[in-house]
A and B are shown apart, each in its own frame.
Chain A
Amino acid sequence: MLGGDKIRTEHLTAYYGPKPAISDVTLGFAEHAVSAIIGPSGCGKSTLIRCLNRMHETVPRTRVEGQVVLDGEDIYQLDPVRVRRRVGMVFQKPNPFVTMSIYNNVSAALRFNGRPSREETDRQVVRSLQQAALWDEVKDRIDAPAVSLSGGQQQRLCIARALAAEPEVLLMDEPCSALDPIATAKIEELIKKLKEEYTVIIVTHNMQQAARVADNTAFMYIGKLIEFGPTEDLFERPKESLTEAYITGRFG
């Protein structure tokens, strides 16, 4: 571990209707580190990270048991909007606000923190775009429609939008699955850089991506956490035979 846990789950079980999608997951995510969650489709990876910012409960007939502790506080005892500001999320498919410009996509997120002045908004937009490694590519067309950007640029715009809300934890659900290898490489470089200021948790189907970007990796199977540890150990000599079988392609 690179530091203490920024956010952790304690015996977390999440249901869709009567059926648990994840069961009794206890897992700590180190601060200023990238943690990856891998596992076959339907294993509960996305459900797990959606519990970390209370997105899971936005789906009807869902419920959660156990705790998610952020800096010592159970997030289920806090205001969900405030939780989602502190724990930002980037989704699988780039989802910029299609009717808005590049600038407005990022500045929209600033309204979570009140209504800053024009100068402050400008400063924050530039900072967020720089952190998302997009500024140099868009600085001359900041008022162009967001949809004029390529897929990779749109995803970095979504990351900039998430960062503009000044989260402490950034959740990324398959952020590169819709991108080509060059755009993927840029996002991966960005993820490694982002951990200097944020705690990053990424769900990915791409095991090589987990190996490239993550300090720690968790393997989940049928809603259970099977193994969690330093990425190098998990991919070089996993402790559990199920992990070995999955990462060597014997199922999944």
Chain B
Amino acid sequence: MNADPLADTGRPRGYDLEIRQLKTRAVAMGEWALGMVHDGWRAFSAGDLSAAQAVLDRGAELDRLDEDIEHAAIAFLVLRQPTAGDLRTAAGLLKITTHLDRVGRLGFDMARITTAGPPAGPVELRELLERMDSVVESMVHQCLEALGHDRADLARELFRRDDEVDQLHREANRIILRELRAKTSDTPRVADTLLVARHFERIADNACKVGEKTVYALTGQRRSEYLPRHRYIPYALETPTTAPGTTEHPPPG
């Protein structure tokens, strides 16, 4: 018997390699999804239909990556019968890839509603949406970094950043509703920005869910154990001091 079993790496070499490969493939899928968000937003904001088409054409590869990782994770579960951290990683990756698929789909949806022509809405709205894009892309980067490099600390930070996105989302909605009421802009295109703002908010939520599953895989901790759930009230009843964005523990969806 080994004197220091914790120092022993006596597992079959293939075992650790398979887990590492599963994570690497999930990160690659996440980068693919992130590219779809990046380019989907660029196509929408520039009214570039050919760029939008290029994003839509990447949907099939996203499906393939999702199915391949699911297949590999299930094979790992069946053939290796993992336990503890290995089990949490394989089971967590099944959910993580679902959230990454949704991230890519939301980029796809931005490309789908792209119409030709100059950007809709006032400059302040476009700047706000640019800001949302910047934050959510950075959040997706961060969740992939956490997953790929076993960084639970990075994953936990995502919840705080989601708060900022929620605040930006509400601000964007306020401007868009103002524009729609004033009817000073191209109404259908401004209405589309409501969807885009919503897509950004959902992408941030999915990045948080990836972070949540990464923390679980690495530490076994459920979110409720390190981040008590915020009590929500209707927006209409919120005062400035209780609005999302001002709380210590912001609400992911």
Residue B239 at the chain A interface, CB threshold 8 Å = no
Chain A contacts for B182, CB-based, 8 A: none
B94 CB to nearest chain A CB (Å):
15
Q: A40-B1, A237-B220 are in contact. Are A249 and B88 (CB under 8 A)?
A: no
Are the CB atoms of B6 and A235 closer together than 8 Å?
no
Are the CB atoms of A244 and B84 closer together than 8 Å?
yes
Are the CB atoms of A251 and B2 closer together than 8 Å?
yes
Q: Which of B7-15, B114-122, B153-161 is near enough to bind chain A?
A: B7-15
Chain A contacts for B9, CB-based, 8 A: 250
Are the CB atoms of A248 and B86 closer together than 8 Å?
yes
Are the CB atoms of B220 and A251 closer together than 8 Å?
no
Residue B83 at the chain A interface, CB threshold 8 Å = yes
Chain A contacts for B220, CB-based, 8 A: 236-237
Residue B241 at the chain A interface, CB threshold 8 Å = no
Are the CB atoms of B87 and A251 closer together than 8 Å?
no
Residue B224 at the chain A interface, CB threshold 8 Å = no
Are the CB atoms of B6 and A238 closer together than 8 Å?
no
Are the CB atoms of A248 and B83 closer together than 8 Å?
yes
Rounded to whole angstroms, the CA-CA distance of A211 and B6 in the bound complex is 23
Number of interface residues of B (CB under 8 A): 19
Return the CB mask of A209-238 against B: 1 if under 8 Å, else 0: 001000000000110000000000001111
Residue A207 at the chain B interface, CB threshold 8 Å = yes
Are the CB atoms of A251 and B10 closer together than 8 Å?
yes
Are the CB atoms of B84 and A250 closer together than 8 Å?
no
Partner of A237, one of B2, B6, B81, B84: B84
Partner of A236, one of B1, B81, B84: B84
What residue of chain A has the Cβ atom nearest to residue B8's Cβ? A251
Are the CB atoms of B11 and A238 closer together than 8 Å?
no
Rounded to whole angstroms, the CA-CA distance of A198 and B11 in the bound complex is 37
Rounded to whole angstroms, the CA-CA distance of A242 and B8 in the bound complex is 11
Residue A42 at the chain B interface, CB threshold 8 Å = yes
B214 CB to nearest chain A CB (Å):
15
B81 CB to nearest chain A CB (Å):
6
Chain B contacts for A246, CB-based, 8 A: 5
Return the CB mask of B1-45 against A: 1 if under 8 Å, else 0: 110011011111001000000000000000000000000000000
Chain B contacts for A211, CB-based, 8 A: 83
Partner of A249, one of B1, B2, B15: B15
Are the CB atoms of A251 and B84 closer together than 8 Å?
no
Are the CB atoms of A250 and B85 closer together than 8 Å?
no
Residue A98 at the chain B interface, CB threshold 8 Å = no
Partner of B81, one of A40, A208, A244: A208
Rounded to whole angstroms, the CA-CA distance of A249 and B5 in the bound complex is 10
Residue A252 at the chain B interface, CB threshold 8 Å = yes
Are the CB atoms of A250 and B11 closer together than 8 Å?
yes
Are the CB atoms of A222 and B1 closer together than 8 Å?
yes
Are the CB atoms of A235 and B5 closer together than 8 Å?
no
Are the CB atoms of B85 and A252 closer together than 8 Å?
no
Chain A contacts for B251, CB-based, 8 A: none
Partner of A244, one of B10, B11, B12, B85: B85
B87 CB to nearest chain A CB (Å):
6
Chain A contacts for B5, CB-based, 8 A: 221, 242, 245-246, 250-252
Residue A117 at the chain B interface, CB threshold 8 Å = no
Residue B59 at the chain A interface, CB threshold 8 Å = no
Chain A contacts for B86, CB-based, 8 A: 248
Are the CB atoms of B6 and A236 closer together than 8 Å?
no
What residue of chain B has the Cβ atom nearest to residue A237's Cβ? B220
Are the CB atoms of B85 and A248 closer together than 8 Å?
yes
Rounded to whole angstroms, the CA-CA distance of A42 and B1 in the bound complex is 9
Residue A64 at the chain B interface, CB threshold 8 Å = no
Residue A247 at the chain B interface, CB threshold 8 Å = yes
Given contacts A235-B87, A236-B220, A249-B12, 12 further A-B contacts (CB under 8 A): A40-B1, A208-B81, A222-B1, A235-B83, A235-B84, A237-B84, A242-B6, A245-B5, A249-B10, A249-B11, A251-B5, A251-B10
9 contacts between A and B (CB under 8 A): A208-B81, A248-B84, A249-B11, A250-B8, A250-B9, A250-B10, A251-B2, A251-B6, A251-B10
Q: A-side interface residues toward B, CB under 8 Å? A: 40, 42, 207-208, 211, 221-222, 235-238, 241-252
**Which 6 residue pairs are nearest across A and B when measured between Cβ atoms?**
A237-B220, A251-B5, A247-B83, A251-B8, A244-B84, A235-B83
